[in-house]
Amino acid sequence: MASHGARSRSGGRPTLEEVAARAGVGRGTVSRVINGSPRVSDATRAAVEAAVAELGYVPNTAARALAANRTDAIALVVPEPETRFFAEPYFSDMLKGVGAEISDTEMQLLLIFAGSDRERRRLAQYLAAHRVDGVLLVSVHADDPLPDLLSQLEIPAVISGPRSAAETLPSVDSDNYGGGRSAVEHLLAGGRSAIAHITGRLDVYGAQRRVDGYRDALRDAGHEVDERLIEPGDFTEEGGRRAMTKLLARRPDLDAVFAGSDVMAAGARQVLREEGRGIPSDVALIGYDDSAIARHMDPPLTSVRQPIEEMGRHMIDLLLSEIADRRPAVSRGLERRQVVLATELVARASS
């Protein structure tokens, strides 16, 4: 019997034909066994697997992918500058979830930044050459041309959060509306009445939905929405600082702040401290994401937890499903596959 890793009679790598001859079956049967087809009897499958082991046959995955018009590669595209990717825990948590789920497949993961016009043009050329089987889009803005480009190229794609309520691409998101609402309800229950909101970038649908939750929670509790207490941010620490400075200038009597991210909450806290405001004695503070920043702040930050790693895993599952079903959305009746995961308020000392 040949040992594992044995050379073929020609002295090179064992071939599919040699496996078929050793197992006493046809070449097509060996291919079906290797590709996991159920249309093979248990006895035949056992014979082929034994021949594979004896000859040390290794499938040529590159050739298989080429024959199936596949690349066995997925691109995780971040239309943001690299500096933001490495500064915000959201992105690293998303990457962790994606990486964990894709590790059980034969797919390779490519991380691509497209934060500038030049990077976008280069990415468009890369995608047009169909060098990946599918794309994960993270942090998509309303005017981003990439989702429409992917649709035109008929490249399977999943985005982390819809661009609008009318999104047609598959998406995975958390309940941003419910998250914003729960933050304000928590502050109202604690006796706060002048509650400010530092929003995320309002060209991001998820940030808009957090504002909607903020407004509705106030109205349903019988409070008028004071527009002076709403200030746009940009998900950065400096953006949180700027927004907090403006809010204090307009409404120095504010007694609570709901920031659209933990990073912005950290910036807001710096300004509050500089202005001599105690947290939470003078101003209660809530963030969003429940990142490591929230747990390590002083005082520890109350935050809305969104299951970012789980979102990443769901994105991979959805994308693999889209890749398996390569029919355009039109032929599928514009079926919308959109997953929304629950959020949870994690109360700590800052509120």
User: pLDDT tens for residues 246-290?
Assistant: 999 999 999 999 999 999 999 999 999 999 999 999 999 999 999
Contact criterion met (CB below 8 Å) for 85 and 93: no
In whole angstroms, what is the distance from residue 280 CA to residue 265 CA? 13
In tens, the pLDDT along 169-195 reads: 899 999 999 999 999 999 999 999 999
Model pTM greater than 0.85? no
- Alpha carbon dihedral 199, 201, 205, 211, in 10-degree steps, equals 10
Query: Edge-to-edge strand order for the sheet containing 108-113?
Result: 108-113, 73-78, 134-137, 157-159, 171-174, 338-341
Beta bridge partners of 173: 340
Q: Is the dihedral of CA 13, 16, 17, 19 positive or negative?
A: positive
Q: What's residue 327's pLDDT?
A: 52
- Using CA atoms, how far residue 315 sits from 94, 138, 240, in Å, is 10, 10, 29
Q: What's residue 173's pLDDT?
A: 95
In tens, the pLDDT along 81-117 reads: 888 888 888 888 999 999 988 887 778 999 999 888 8
Report helix, strand or coil for 343: coil
- Give the closest residue to 339 by CA, choosing from 316, 318, 309: 318
